[in-house]
Amino acid sequence: MSRVLRVLFFIILVLPVTVLAQQVLAQELPSWNDGARRQAIVDFVKRVTTEGGPDYVAQAERIAVFDNDGTLWSEQPFYFQLGFIIDRVKALAPEHPEWQQKEPFRSILAGDLAAIADSGQKGLVELGMVTHAGMTTEAFETIVTNWFATARHPKTGRLYDEMTFVPMVELLEYLRANGFKTYIVSGGGIEFMRPMTEGAYGVPPEQVVGSSIVTEYKEVDGKPMLERLPKIDFIDDGPGKPVGINTFIGRRPIFAAGNSDGDYEMLRWVTSGSRPSLGIIVHHTDAVREYAYDRKSHFGRLDKALDEAGERGWQVVDMKADWKKIYPFDP
C-alpha cells in the first residue's frame, strides 16, 4: 500500500471503528475509570454474551447477585438498618417506660452507639424483634417506607436511599442490558430492603433475598393477613448466602459482588461452578468521598476475602481509584 492509501485506510476504516468502540465503552459504566477492574467486567460480559463463543452462557443462566450493605450503598457509621432500629426505639419509647432502665434500649435512647455494639448478638436480636415484629407485613412496609422518606444519615444529612453507589447502579443496569437477571442477596432484612430496591437499584421485590423473621397467616375479622412474629427465620449472611441463593433462585449465579467477609461463601459458591464467572469485591478506600475501612471495621469487616481475592481471581475494586463518582449527589 502506498503511504496515501494507508492514511486513507486509517481515516476511513480504522479511526471511525476505534472512536465508535471508545464511545460505546464510554456509554457503559460511565462512572468507572478506565482500568483493570472496569476492563475485567466488560471483558467478562463480552465473553458470556458472545453467541458461538467458548464462554457463551444462555440468557436464562445469566444470574448476578449483589450484596447490599457496603456494596450497593454505604454501611457506616452503622448498617442503615441499625439506623432504622434506633429511630424506631425512640419512636416507641413513650409506650415503654421500662426501656429507660433496660439495656440495650437505655443505650440507644442515650445515643451510646458503642454500648449498643457491645450488647452483642443477643442485644441486637432483641432490638430487631421489638422493632420488626408484632405487626402485619403491610403495616411494616408502611413504617419502612415512611422511614426512608424522612430519616437522615448522621454524616451526610441525606436520605439513606440516596447514599447508593452510582458506579454499582450502573453495573446493575449494564448487566441487565446484557441479559442478566440481577438479585440482591444481603444480610439485611428482606422486608426492610424491598420497599427501596426497585426505586434505588431497579431490582423488584421478588429479586431480593435477605434475612427474615417468621410470618404467620391469620384471619382477623374475616380478613387474611400476615403477622410478623418475634422469631428469626433465616440469616442470609456468610454461609447462609449460598443457601439463600439456592432456595430463592435455584440456579448458581455467574456473577457476584460483595464487600466483606460476610460475602466470602457467596463469592466462593458463585465462582466455583462449571461456567465462566466473575467475583467482585468493593474495597472501601476513600475516606474523603465515603469511608476507608477493611480488616478492623465493626460493620463490613473485610479480611479473609481480601486475603484470598488474588488466588480466587476476584476483582478488588478500589473505590478511590476506580470510581469517578460515588453518590448520586456528588458533584
Q: Which residues bind its own copies (CB under 8 A)?
A: 60, 63, 137, 181, 190-191, 194, 198, 204-206, 208, 212, 215-217, 219, 223-224, 226, 233, 239-240, 242-243, 246-251, 265, 268-269, 272
How much is the CA Rg of the chain, to the nearest whole Å? 23
Instruction: List C-alpha distances in Å: 284 to 61, 317, 323.
Output: 30, 8, 11
DSSP 3-state assignment of 83?
helix
Q: How far apart are CA 140 and CA 33, in angstroms?
A: 40
Asked whether the beta carbons of 83 and 163 are under 8 A apart, the reply is no
Task: List the end-to-end C-alpha distance of the chain, in Å, as a whole number.
Answer: 50
Q: Cell numbers of 24, please?
A: 460505546
Tally the residues of the chain.
331
Q: How far apart are CA 110 and CA 93, in angstroms?
A: 12
Q: How far apart are CA 321 and CA 331, in angstroms?
A: 17
Q: How far apart are CA 286 and CA 323, in angstroms?
A: 10
DSSP 3-state assignment of 322?
helix
Contact partners, residue 293, CB within 8 Å, separation at least 6: 76, 284, 300, 302
Q: How far apart are CA 39 and CA 19, in angstroms?
A: 17
Asked whether the beta carbons of 256 and 68 are under 8 A apart, the reply is no
Q: Cell numbers of 267, please?
A: 463469592
Q: Distance from CA of residue 82 to its chain's centroid? A: 16
